[in-house]
Amino acid sequence: MIGLREKLLSGPERDEPDATALHRRFQASVDSATGLFNELREEKNYYNDDHDLLSVRMELRPTASLSDGGYRVGPIMMGRTDEPVSSASRAMFEGFERYSLSLYEKDRLVHASPKRLAEQLRAFIDVDLFADVRRPVDRDSLFRWVAGLDLATGAEVLVPAQAVYVPYAFADGEQELREPLTTGAASGLAWPHTLTRALHEIVERDATMLLHYGGCAVRLIEPAHVLGPRMLAYTRAMQATDKSVTFAQVQTDLPAHVVVVVVEDPTGRSPAVCVGSGAAASIAAAAESALCEAAAFNRALRSRLAYGEQLLSRAPSAQPVTSGELRGYYWAQPERVGTLSWFDGAAVMPESAVTDAPIYEPAQLVDHLVSLPGGAIVVDCTPPDVRSFGVYCLKALVPALQPMHLDESCMIRTARLQERIVGSGSGSTTDKIGPHPFL
């Protein structure tokens, strides 16, 4: 059987069409009565110190009536770049992703315990790989499963449905292995490129969690060494309003570049700390992605500070960070400026090191990930109405890598993070580190 690695290297979809050139095709999906999305529009009210990048807002229609999970209230996506059609495409493709992941029928899923699947000689990924290493899973516990493809062989393998679909409605008594999030999902116009983006997001989340909780090292980057003229101008404009903007490469052991961008504002005009991250085959692409994400979150947080304060007033005092909104509000407070210690003692990358940084091939990443415990799996979540636009939606899973969490009570410790904690001598707990700032 031809493995999916080979599909990355050959075939008619080796080159992905330009989504911006096909933007008119996708606009048919925007219709409050019959479309997938209620609206797609550029934001009009920019802040005085925040007008150099264009923001496009996308609102997904509720999907609860179409799914055994689904959204009761349609989520809002934001695309932010230096060009309007590109911003709209980013928002729209995230919308395709969210829509696709929210659709499933529980009767089409396999409902069984790991023990029963083993007795039936079914291929499945061990649920312990998705759970906290300190809390083994009962082998007789019932889970819902969905079929995916093993990236090493192309063979079918079952994975927990809760690791794929968002929002996910747990069955009665079904144990929550990890917080259901969209990490590892991507939509696009060519299967190999979509898969590569999905895998890069998993790598990004793993690296940023290891950075915050496991003491992963970084190297600082001069923005002029990785950004094009327009994105560099945006960075300089932020710095001109007394914000500090720090770029750093996370030293991951995976064949991809991961960059974090931290924007701190001591003036109180905008969120105190706003962080973006990106992973890509090249360091320049990772840096631009991280900057665009930081900019998008900065704008979104500014417009939702009052809502965050309202949520915080209703949250349990012992654990205030129980959602993405509260996490953003926590880091928006003025007292958070200067509290991140990631860059203490970090060296600056020489320009030559940035220029000579390798550009990784997708197959290098796949080959590395399939060698990890549990390997790498992809689930094709594309519903027919999304596929009619020529779009794929894939959800990739790499159980051994550290997942991100938004609810602090849902943080899990993988064997990978456990090794980092023990190796760094930081003790057996992450409680003293505090909530991470990623959204």
**Residue 430 pLDDT:** 55
Which strands, in side-by-side order, build the sheet including 76-81? 37-42, 54-60, 76-81
| Band (11; pLDDT cuts 50, 70, 90) | very low
Residue type, 437: P
Q: Give the mean model confidence (pLDDT) for residues 39-55.
A: 76
* Tokens 């005092």 sit on residue: 317
Give me the pLDDT at residue 67, please.
Answer: 96
- pLDDT value for 302: 73
| Measured CA distances, 155 to 149, 218, 340, 376 (Å) | 6, 37, 44, 12
Instruction: Give the confidence band of 2 by pLDDT, cuts at 50, 70, 90.
Output: very low
DSSP result, 200-241: HHHHHHHHHHHHHHH---EEEE-GGGT--HHHHHHHHHHHHT
Q: Over the stretch 337-366, which tens digit does the pLDDT of each residue have?
A: 999 999 999 999 999 999 999 999 999 999
**Arithmetic mean of pLDDT, 74-95:** 86
- The pLDDT of residue 219 is above 70: yes
Residues across the chain: 439
Cα–Cα dist 203/196, whole Å: 11
How far CA 308 is from CA of 284, 320, 328, 407, in Å, comes to 33, 11, 8, 14
Whole-angstrom distance, CA of residue 271 vs CA of residue 333:
7
Q: Could you read off the pLDDT of 133-167 as tens digits, one per residue?
A: 988 899 999 999 999 999 999 999 999 999 999 99
| DSSP, residue by residue, 338-390 | T---TTTTPPBPPHHHHHT-----HHHHHHHHHTSTT--EEEE---HHHHTTT
Whole-model pTM: value is 0.92
Task: Report yes or no: 414 and 402 within 8 Å, Cβ to Cβ.
Answer: yes
Tokens of 198: 């999905």
The neighbour count for residue 409, using CB atoms within 10 Å, is: 11
Where are the domains positioned within the chain?
A: 26-103, 215-353
**In the CATH scheme, what architecture does the domain 26-103 have?**
2-Layer Sandwich (3.30)
pLDDT tier at 77, thresholds 50, 70, 90: confident
> Do 26-103 and 215-353 have matching folds?
yes
138 secondary structure, DSSP code: P
pLDDT in tens, 249-271: 999 999 999 999 999 999 888 88
Token output for 66: 């179409």
* Long-range CB contacts for residues 8-17, cutoff 8 Å, separation at least 24: 8/192, 8/195, 8/196, 8/362, 8/363, 8/366, 9/362, 9/363, 11/192, 13/190, 13/191, 13/192, 13/193, 14/190, 14/192, 15/190, 16/188, 16/189, 16/190, 16/192, 16/193, 17/189, 17/190, 17/390
| pLDDT computed for residue 5 by the predictor | 53
Full DSSP string of 98-123: HHHHT---GGGSEEE-HHHHHHTT--
SS3 30: strand
What is the CATH code for 215-353?
3.30.160.660
> What does the alpha-carbon distance between residue 97 and residue 182 come to, in Å, rounded to a whole number?
8
